[in-house]
Protein backbone atom coordinates (compact mmCIF):
# COMPACT_ATOMS: atom_id res chain seq x y z
CA UNK A 1 0.00 0.00 0.00
CA UNK A 2 1.22 3.46 -0.86
CA UNK A 3 -0.37 6.73 0.15
CA UNK A 4 0.19 10.44 0.06
CA UNK A 5 -1.46 13.23 1.98
CA UNK A 6 -3.07 15.95 -0.12
CA UNK A 7 -5.29 18.97 0.30
CA UNK A 8 -8.07 18.51 -2.26
CA UNK A 9 -8.23 22.28 -2.80
CA UNK A 10 -4.65 22.21 -4.07
CA UNK A 11 -4.65 20.82 -7.61
CA UNK A 12 -0.88 20.24 -7.57
CA UNK A 13 -1.13 18.09 -4.43
CA UNK A 14 -4.04 16.09 -5.91
CA UNK A 15 -2.05 15.61 -9.12
CA UNK A 16 0.92 14.39 -7.06
CA UNK A 17 -1.26 11.65 -5.50
CA UNK A 18 -2.40 10.52 -8.94
CA UNK A 19 1.16 10.67 -10.26
CA UNK A 20 2.27 8.45 -7.36
CA UNK A 21 -0.42 5.90 -8.25
CA UNK A 22 0.70 5.86 -11.88
CA UNK A 23 4.35 5.56 -10.84
CA UNK A 24 3.66 2.65 -8.47
CA UNK A 25 0.92 0.81 -10.40
CA UNK A 26 1.15 2.04 -13.99
CA UNK A 27 -2.50 3.13 -14.17
CA UNK A 28 -5.48 4.54 -12.30
CA UNK A 29 -8.62 2.44 -12.32
CA UNK A 30 -10.73 4.25 -9.71
CA UNK A 31 -10.83 7.68 -8.11
CA UNK A 32 -13.01 8.21 -5.04
CA UNK A 33 -13.69 11.89 -4.27
CA UNK A 34 -14.73 11.79 -0.63
CA UNK A 35 -13.56 15.02 1.03
CA UNK A 36 -16.19 17.42 2.31
CA UNK A 37 -17.15 19.96 4.94
CA UNK A 38 -20.54 21.10 6.17
CA UNK A 39 -20.39 24.39 8.12
CA UNK A 40 -24.14 24.97 7.89
CA UNK A 41 -25.89 28.20 8.89
CA UNK A 42 -28.79 30.31 7.62
CA UNK A 43 -27.96 32.44 4.58
CA UNK A 44 -28.85 35.57 6.59
CA UNK A 45 -25.69 35.04 8.67
CA UNK A 46 -23.59 35.72 5.53
CA UNK A 47 -20.71 33.45 6.50
CA UNK A 48 -18.61 34.21 3.41
CA UNK A 49 -15.49 32.39 4.62
CA UNK A 50 -17.47 29.23 5.33
CA UNK A 51 -19.18 29.44 1.94
CA UNK A 52 -15.82 29.76 0.19
CA UNK A 53 -14.44 26.79 2.15
CA UNK A 54 -17.42 24.62 1.13
CA UNK A 55 -17.11 25.65 -2.51
CA UNK A 56 -13.35 24.99 -2.50
CA UNK A 57 -13.51 21.59 -0.81
CA UNK A 58 -16.89 20.18 -1.83
CA UNK A 59 -16.83 21.32 -5.47
CA UNK A 60 -13.29 22.27 -6.48
CA UNK A 61 -11.94 19.23 -4.64
CA UNK A 62 -14.09 17.00 -6.85
CA UNK A 63 -13.04 18.90 -9.98
CA UNK A 64 -9.35 18.72 -9.01
CA UNK A 65 -9.64 14.95 -8.64
CA UNK A 66 -11.42 14.56 -11.96
CA UNK A 67 -8.88 16.78 -13.74
CA UNK A 68 -5.98 14.76 -12.33
CA UNK A 69 -7.25 11.33 -13.47
CA UNK A 70 -9.26 12.08 -16.59
CA UNK A 71 -6.36 12.28 -19.07
CA UNK A 72 -5.01 8.97 -17.77
CA UNK A 73 -8.39 7.24 -17.89
CA UNK A 74 -9.06 8.56 -21.39
CA UNK A 75 -5.71 7.18 -22.53
CA UNK A 76 -6.48 3.82 -20.85
CA UNK A 77 -9.99 3.91 -22.32
CA UNK A 78 -11.30 2.87 -18.90
CA UNK A 79 -11.85 4.12 -15.40
CA UNK A 80 -14.39 4.80 -12.70
CA UNK A 81 -14.80 8.09 -10.85
CA UNK A 82 -16.88 7.98 -7.67
CA UNK A 83 -17.89 11.02 -5.64
CA UNK A 84 -19.66 11.27 -2.33
CA UNK A 85 -22.71 13.42 -2.77
CA UNK A 86 -25.36 13.44 -0.05
CA UNK A 87 -29.09 13.31 0.40
CA UNK A 88 -28.50 17.07 0.65
CA UNK A 89 -27.73 16.95 -3.07
CA UNK A 90 -31.32 15.87 -3.66
CA UNK A 91 -33.28 17.72 -0.94
CA UNK A 92 -32.68 21.21 0.44
CA UNK A 93 -33.30 21.87 4.12
CA UNK A 94 -33.23 25.09 6.21
CA UNK A 95 -29.85 26.37 7.33
CA UNK A 96 -28.02 24.34 4.69
CA UNK A 97 -28.63 26.11 1.38
CA UNK A 98 -24.95 26.50 0.52
CA UNK A 99 -24.02 22.97 1.60
CA UNK A 100 -26.94 21.56 -0.37
CA UNK A 101 -25.90 23.71 -3.32
CA UNK A 102 -22.42 22.19 -3.28
CA UNK A 103 -23.92 18.72 -3.25
CA UNK A 104 -26.34 19.56 -6.08
CA UNK A 105 -23.26 20.77 -7.99
CA UNK A 106 -21.49 17.44 -7.42
CA UNK A 107 -24.52 15.65 -8.88
CA UNK A 108 -24.48 17.90 -11.96
CA UNK A 109 -20.72 17.55 -12.44
CA UNK A 110 -20.86 13.78 -12.17
CA UNK A 111 -23.82 13.56 -14.58
CA UNK A 112 -21.94 15.76 -17.05
CA UNK A 113 -18.89 13.54 -16.66
CA UNK A 114 -21.01 10.47 -17.36
CA UNK A 115 -22.40 12.00 -20.53
CA UNK A 116 -19.06 13.31 -21.77
CA UNK A 117 -16.92 10.26 -21.09
CA UNK A 118 -19.16 7.24 -21.61
CA UNK A 119 -17.64 6.55 -25.02
CA UNK A 120 -14.21 6.42 -23.36
CA UNK A 121 -15.51 3.69 -21.02
CA UNK A 122 -15.18 6.01 -18.01
CA UNK A 123 -17.97 5.45 -15.53
CA UNK A 124 -19.21 7.88 -12.89
CA UNK A 125 -21.04 7.12 -9.67
CA UNK A 126 -22.37 9.29 -6.88
CA UNK A 127 -22.96 7.96 -3.39
CA UNK A 128 -25.69 9.89 -1.59
CA UNK A 129 -25.74 8.87 2.05
CA UNK A 130 -28.25 10.25 4.49
CA UNK A 131 -27.40 10.85 8.12
CA UNK A 132 -24.29 8.83 8.93
CA UNK A 133 -22.35 8.97 12.17
CA UNK A 134 -19.08 10.62 11.09
CA UNK A 135 -16.99 13.57 12.20
CA UNK A 136 -18.57 15.80 9.52
CA UNK A 137 -20.67 17.60 12.14
CA UNK A 138 -17.44 19.00 13.64
CA UNK A 139 -17.12 21.31 10.61
CA UNK A 140 -20.30 23.14 11.68
CA UNK A 141 -19.36 26.29 13.58
CA UNK A 142 -22.82 27.20 14.86
CA UNK A 143 -23.14 25.35 18.23
CA UNK A 144 -26.91 24.77 18.00
CA UNK A 145 -26.72 23.45 14.42
CA UNK A 146 -23.68 21.31 15.30
CA UNK A 147 -25.53 19.60 18.16
CA UNK A 148 -28.66 19.10 16.03
CA UNK A 149 -26.64 17.45 13.25
CA UNK A 150 -24.59 15.41 15.73
CA UNK A 151 -27.80 14.11 17.27
CA UNK A 152 -29.29 13.43 13.84
CA UNK A 153 -26.21 11.49 12.76
CA UNK A 154 -26.23 9.39 15.91
CA UNK A 155 -29.85 8.43 15.25
CA UNK A 156 -29.43 7.79 11.51
CA UNK A 157 -32.10 8.49 8.93
CA UNK A 158 -34.95 7.46 11.22
CA UNK A 159 -34.11 10.44 13.44
CA UNK A 160 -34.66 13.00 10.71
CA UNK A 161 -37.09 15.77 11.48
CA UNK A 162 -36.29 19.06 9.79
CA UNK A 163 -36.42 22.27 11.81
- Annotated catalytic, 93? no
Per-residue burial over 101-120, b if 16 or more Cβ lie within 10 Å, else e, is: bbbbbbbebbeebeeebeee
Catalytic residue among 3, 25, 99, 137: 99
Distance separating alpha carbons of residues 71 and 74, to the nearest angstrom: 5
Ordered per-residue pLDDT tens for the chain, 163 residues = 888 999 999 999 999 999 999 999 999 999 999 988 888 888 999 999 999 999 999 999 999 999 999 999 999 999 999 999 988 888 888 888 999 999 999 999 999 999 999 999 999 999 987 765 556 556 666 676 666 666 666 665 444 444 4
Amino acid sequence: IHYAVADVTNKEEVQAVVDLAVEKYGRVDVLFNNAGVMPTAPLSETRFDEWREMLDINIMGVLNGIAAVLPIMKQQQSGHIISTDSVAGHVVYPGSAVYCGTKFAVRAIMEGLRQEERENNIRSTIISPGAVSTELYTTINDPENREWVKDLMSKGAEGLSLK
